Amino acid sequence: MQQFRVKGLTCANCTLELEQQIQKLEHGQDATLSYNSGKLTLQGKVSLEKVAKILSSEGAYIEQTRESHAHDHGHDHSHDNHGHSHAHENHHSSHEEDDHSHSHGGSQKWLIGSAVIFVAAWLLRNELAEYIIITIYIAVMIVSGYRTWIKGLKNLLHFRFNIDTLMTIALAGAVGIGQWEEAALVALLFGLNELLEGMGMDKARRSMRDLLEVAPKEAMILKGNTEALIPIGSLVIGDTVIVRPGEKIPSDGTVLEGRGSVNEAVISGESLPVDKFSGEPVFGGSLNNEGVLKITITKAYKDSSLARILHLVEEAQETKTPTQLFINRFAFYYTPIIMAIALLTVIVPPLLFESSWVSSLYQGLAVLIVGCPCALILASPIAIVAGITRNARNGILIKGGVFLEQLGKINTIAFDKTGTLTVGVPTVEQVIAYDEKQLYSITAALERNSSHPLALAIMKRIESEAIERLDANDVKALPGMGVTATIQDLPYWIGNEKSIQHILLSEKVQNDIKQMKQKAFTIVLVVDATAVLGIFGITDPIREESRSVIAKLHRLGIRETVMLTGDHSIIADKVAKIIGIKQVYANLLPEQKVEQVKKLAQKGHVAMIGDGINDAPALATAQLGIAMGKGTDSAMETADIILLQDHLGKLPEAITIAKSVNRLIKINISIALGLKIIALLLTIPGLLTLWIAILSDMGATVLVSLLSLTLLIQRKSHKTDNTSR
């Protein structure tokens, strides 16, 4: 697979037509050309010479080449020094932005000059000789529309009919019937329309490029006592780097020495600092606010969380939503239909109603101008890019426009419990000690060397107690039950109720166990050969934002919130009741979660939210899979959307943005079609003029672009929300 950066794409409809022409080339059937990102992707050995010729017909050209390979997680490995290549690309992007700016600046000057000349000629039309006025109008047409003329004439030679062809015919026809003034005005307004259309998309692309340019370019590597500045692409696993205050962490790693406050907004979308010290993980691209950190690199930059996130955000621009595909299909038939209407407008009135041929020809030319589908095709891409960018700023990674569109349509959300609605870290909530002197010492001896989550929770709870140091011998794991060992020549057990079947429980112990179960605690008992020494009641704390998030989701129109968990029904029901979940399915195996998701999908649009590891089958089955985690590999691979904050706090905002995108696209389509329908209806009383026709398209383009760009506006709340910790 080869990818190329293409410059000079100023029109969404023209880009679509260029893509279709390239697809007709030998081996070009899978080629894609994205107006959103300005990228051309070729899957086969397509003739680059022929591709360049097609692009040049619209004033576009290939600027940069980079090769990618399938099954490579989307990473670009065309250079040995990946980081250097990426840095170069970022650097190049800034030049590209400057080039666009200069290009627009030059176009603006020419258009402003043309506008001034046109206004002057119009004001002096009764003072100057007619041939002078006509000469000025011709000059305005040439300056404002020479590119359109050239492309339109080329298209006519090849019998291709797009907006440039239609405009060329319309302008030539207007000149032919002596409408010099209107022809000049139409050329001027069309030039302004193309400029505004290009500027609107450039603004969306620029916001995306700004997001993509957060990657650090260099790293300060430490070898012995020597420091050296190297490109991040030269880093390898095991390297030690120094990151001083104000510098970016070059790649994922672990703090070796030092302590600092790190801003991880580039990963999570949250700017609250996170304290880092020895042994703590850090992410590439994060900003070290204070303190000097010595970091051991654990991932080469190309495999780092940031590199993968940036790649996925960039690739997200390429996908076309069902709405975009529908609009593209509609536009394919729209222009021929308009041309047929224009022809009927010219022929029917003179033949049936004895109207003037010149007047009918004028109306037909105006209808041709109405035929420009640019505003219609622009209805979706700017809004999609803006929505993906806005969510990425918030640390919500959406892998494509199609998933953004789906997110705005979901009405059912299924949640995993552990690690999603709850913290996922067991905590001891209650301890009942029947033999306090022995309980903690025996427990510590049994659990000291265990890495089981429940053992870690118990050890954390008793670490502050005065514990006699005892040694456990003959330690044996009891699968599904617990652990047994010999301590001071006596046998002891720690585990669930199955591990204590050798003793008879007193009525008090039975009541205590029953009460703990009613509290939805996981029970861990410590016993000797004859009696229970104590009980630990363990729970997985509910995330502090879960209740408010569920409430917000219901207010946003999410009809059903469902919990799918492998945990005990008593625990699941308690959590659901506290946070407001409506339906609970407990004691589920992974395959049973998949079945439940399928059943839910029969009733509505379903999203499944989990941690991207044990919920992978359910995430893949749902119409929309949403995973939590700061760029973890499993989440990246499995989910369609990733909450990089590792909590649910910003999920409601993501859905709000997605709904706004869908709503704006519908509004944009209505505006684009509505203004054109109004213009076409004006042909009935003969009121449609050339400048009204071009203004209908220009007005639609301006409104569509401005409305879509409002999605990039991020309002800052003055209230502290505990959901965005």
220 residue type, one letter: M
Q: Please enumerate in sequence order all residues whose Cβ is within 8 A of that of 383, keeping only pairs 6 or more positions apart, or say none.
A: 661, 664, 665, 668, 707, 708, 711
d(CA 264, CA 249): 10
φ, ψ of residue 193 in degrees (nearest 5)? -60, -45
Q: Per the structure block, which two tokens stand in for 281?
A: 């993980």
| Sign, CA torsion 219/222/228/234 | negative
Q: Per the structure block, which two tokens stand in for 481?
A: 């039950």
Looking at the DSSP bridge assignments, the partners of residue 457 are none
Taking each helix axis as running N to C, give the angle between helix 651-681 and helix 690-709, from 0 to 180 degrees, rounded to the nearest 10.
180
d(CA 191, CA 149): 11
Order of strands across the sheet that contains 293-297 = 226-231, 218-223, 240-243, 293-297, 253-257, 281-282
Q: Per the structure block, which two tokens stand in for 313?
A: 């955000």
Owner of token pair 């035929």? 371
- Exposure string over 159-186, b if 16+ CB within 10 A, otherwise e: eebbbbbbbbbbbebbbeeebbbbbbbb
Tell me whether strands 606-610 and 472-478 are parallel, antiparallel or unpaired: unpaired
d(CA 593, CA 414): 10
What is the 8-class DSSP label of residue 344? H
Half-sphere exposure at residue 579, Cβ-oriented, CA atoms within 13 angstroms: 29
Residue 474 gets the label, from left (phi > 0), alpha (psi -120 to 50) or beta, of left
d(CA 544, CA 257): 32
Q: Please enumerate in sequence order all residues whose Cβ is within 8 A of that of 339, keeping only pairs 6 or more positions apart, or say none.
A: 161, 166, 368, 371
Q: Per the structure block, which two tokens stand in for 330?
A: 């509609």
Residue 586 gets the label, from left (phi > 0), alpha (psi -120 to 50) or beta, of beta
Given the residues 164, 252, 416, 540, the one annotated as active site: 416
C-alpha to C-alpha distances, 69 to 66, 77, 352, 569, nearest whole angstrom: 10, 8, 63, 47
Catalytic residue status for 416:
yes
Active-site amino acid positions: 416
